[in-house]
A and B are shown apart, each in its own frame.
Chain A
Amino acid sequence: EAGVTQSPTHLIKTRGQQVTLRCSPISGHTSVYWYQQALGLGLQFLLWYDEGEERNRGNFPPRFSGRQFPNYSSELNVNALELEDSALYLCASSLVPGGGTEAFFGQGTRLTVV
């Protein structure tokens, strides 16, 4: 069975540009979480989607947004990129929504903003 997959694995963008990251959860998982992992800052919670709805968002500005599709895959969009957006963006999925169970992570997308 395929795990959580993310694309692209790496990308470089210029400050002010927009970027879209993609995530496919494990088959049967309805919850998708997005995390930002910047150097030294651990795993910062960005967004949580379940059954196509945004359930919660972390302490990030509105230029971070996303959506979840009917097949439960998800996109993370970041507008007006800033240098400090450079980080590893990790997607995770879980069988049960909201917590209380294992979250399976993708390999991440390494975003570099120059």
Chain B
Amino acid sequence: GENVEQHPSTLSVQEGDSAVIKCTYSDSASNYFPWYKQELGKRPQLIIDIRSNVGEKKDQRIAVTLNKTAKHFSLHITETQPEDSAVYFCAASKEVGGADGLTFGKGTHLIIQP
């Protein structure tokens, strides 16, 4: 089955700086890559996703890049703000009809220092 590695496990950045979280996946058939944000005591929520026919996607301060050849994808957050502090999870899956659902990385605890 799919295996997703995520790093770093903890990332501390100064407010206003950029943060980058990286993930690798093992199954070349995976073609859907979402990112979830989990604030303390809350449920994980989707913040952005990318499909394999796209190399990059942006949504305001958040962007995701995908390199299918290398089987890795990254989350980029620019101009970080205190409310960005949370645990971020990457995930990978096949498209409709896949047997494995979403496979998640172990998460990155992002800390925004004032």
Interface band, chain A: 20 to 34
B79 → chain A closest CB, angstroms: 25
Interface band, chain B: 20 to 34
What A residues does B106 contact at CB under 8 A? 40-42
The contact string, 1 if C-beta is below 8 Å from chain B, for chain A 66-105, is 0000000000000000000000001000001111111101
- Given known contacts A42-B106, A45-B104, A107-B43, A55 and B95 CB-to-CB distance under 8 angstroms: no
Q: How far is A100 from B96 in the complex, measured between Cα atoms in Å?
A: 6
Is there contact, CB below 8 Å, between B95 and A99? yes
A-B contact count (CB 8 A): 73
Interface: B80 (CB within 8 A): no
Q: Is the interface of B mostly helix, strand, loop or mixed?
A: loop
What A residues does B44 contact at CB under 8 A? 43, 90, 105
B44 → chain A closest CB, angstroms: 5
What A residues does B45 contact at CB under 8 A? 105
A6 → chain B closest CB, angstroms: 9
Is there contact, CB below 8 Å, between B89 and A43? yes
Is there contact, CB below 8 Å, between A56 and B99? yes
What B residues does A101 contact at CB under 8 A? 32, 96
Interface: B102 (CB within 8 A): yes
Chain B: residues with CB nearer than 8 A to chain A?
A: 6, 31-32, 34, 36, 42-46, 49, 89, 93-107
Given contact pairs A31-B101, A42-B6, A103-B46, enumerate 11 new A-B contacts (beta carbons under 8 Å): A33-B101, A35-B104, A42-B89, A42-B104, A43-B107, A90-B43, A96-B96, A98-B100, A99-B95, A102-B49, A105-B45
